Amino acid sequence: MPGMDNLFSRLKEVIGEAHILREPNQLKNFSVDGTRPKAILSPGTIEEVSKVVSLANEQRLSIIPMGNGTKMEMGGIPKKGDWILSTLRLNHITDSDCDNLTLSAESGMTLSEIQSQLGKIGRGYFLPLDPPFVEKATLGGIVATNSSGPRRLLYGTVRDLMIGARAVLPNGDVVTSGGKTVKNVSGYDLCKLLIGSYGTLGILCEMTFKLLPLPEKEATLVAPFPKLEEAVQFGRHLLRSQYLPASMEILNGTAVKKIYPPFAHQELYLVAIGLDGVSEAIDRQVSEMSEIAKEKGSLPPSVLQSESHASFWKAIRDFPAQLKQEGKSFISLKSNFLISRYGEVIARYEQMAKASGVECALICHAGNGVLYTYLFIDPKREEKSGSIPSLIEEFSSVVRKYEGQLMVEFSPPDIKKKIDVWGGWRPDYEIMRRIKEKIDPQGILNPGRFVGGI
């Protein structure tokens, strides 16, 4: 087609022929829920991103931003996906100011690269984020999905740590919001608006974060409980105490068997407390929390340090990757609700799953009111019964009762077509739709993947 050939000639002038992928056999590997792009474009600078987006807007072609693809299974099925815009060539630290505890980096850098470089500076620093797949997850994908991990209990989420951003809007404009100082925003804070927007409002190119010095010591207290009620009481006691854990997770028996081998043959609930800080304070808290756990009904607690500590939390964060390696068919859900209700939600989910004949693993951020659920499915059984969509709706009704929302993070496309991956209509949907229409009137960025099909 002459028109398309002319368009790609213009793209070659912008980013170079070597950074345009159009080979059909390779493109099929980049399909998003069955939507195959016509090209993969890899700009190397913010200016190149701007020109590519301007061309797409001019031609009314849709763009799906992508880093290493760790978040591409999230969200709704795309309405269109003409081009995938890869951010992997945007991979530089643009400003490192550890004396003032700030860092600016481009969106294609992985979090592990950032942490590795920061750990070598002076006494060592780190960006206090621990989302899934830190070895592959890029900063852009982490921010766009507001991805977080167990340590959000102490350090917060992206929204708490990001203080500035440069992004390209759907018309190609490059905008800057925030900066290296915390109180530097007047008017609307576009930086915060882009967090968790799933690439529907702009393409993140560079972000500025707050840093912290590396903690002197890290350790994990693992307390196994025969009953859920005992585990919940222990967790609630810690949340009301003077202790400051970095993370607090509760795992049900199915999750325990897959994540923590020492208890693989027992039906137990596991409470895992992650601690960061000064050595003396960590040792004291571990000792005191162990005694409290035993008073609440725990079997003898264990303490993990060094490699065992790191391996344990990696297993929790990257649990979906482990399931895929094992060849498991599963659906993953993320539920949020009132923090005080996590015990009731865990109990109800287990009861509902058992009644439906579906095995489920549960991992709860007990201090944040966030529950990750993994439903193990038999595709043949699902085709006949349709039990999974019904079970997901039952789960949604539970969290709505406790002022929450359920999101389907990963699901095969055939099941996605039967459910609302965002858990139904939300009161703020109309506001989000109007913002999308104002910023992206032609709907070229990630169409259909955000709440309400935005």
C-alpha to C-alpha distances, 218 to 124, 277, 292, 305, 395, nearest whole angstrom: 14, 7, 20, 7, 35
pLDDT, position 262:
84
**For the chain, counts of helices (H) and of strands (E):** 18, 19
- Please tell me whether residue 122 adopts helix, strand or coil conformation: coil
Give CA–CA dist 260/253, Å, rounded. 10
- Please tell me whether residue 275 adopts helix, strand or coil conformation: strand
Could you tell me if 250 and 271 are in contact, meaning their C-beta atoms sit under 8 angstroms apart?
yes
CA 305, 309, 315 angle in degrees (round to 5)? 165
pLDDT, position 266:
79
Predicted TM-score of the model (pTM): 0.94
pLDDT, position 6:
87
Instruction: Write out the two tokens for 401.
Output: 């009762």
Could you tell me if 65 and 87 are in contact, meaning their C-beta atoms sit under 8 angstroms apart?
yes
Summarize pLDDT for 124-179 with one digit per residue, the tens: 999 999 999 999 999 999 999 999 999 999 999 999 999 999 999 999 999 999 87
pLDDT, position 385:
47
Summarize pLDDT for 395-434 with one digit per residue, the tens: 999 999 999 999 999 998 888 888 999 987 777 888 999 9
CB atoms within 10 A of CB 203: 27
CA 72 to chain centroid: 11
Alpha helices in 208-318 (DSSP H): 228-239, 253-259, 279-295, 306-317
Domains of the chain as residue ranges with CATH:
2-86 (3.30.43.10), 93-213 (3.30.465.10), 217-317 (3.30.70.3450), 320-416 (3.30.70.1130)
Give CA–CA dist 380/397, Å, rounded. 26
pLDDT, position 1:
46
**Amino acid identity, position 380:** K
Q: Taking the alpha carbons of 350, 353, 356, 357 in that order, is the dihedral positive or negative?
A: negative
* Spans of the chain, pLDDT less than 70: 1-3, 181-188, 379-386
pLDDT, position 427:
78
Give CA–CA dist 173/136, Å, rounded. 28
**DSSP assignment, residue 369?**
T
Give CA–CA dist 122/120, Å, rounded. 6
**DSSP assignment, residue 103?**
E
Q: What are phi and psi of 29, to 5 degrees?
A: -75, -10
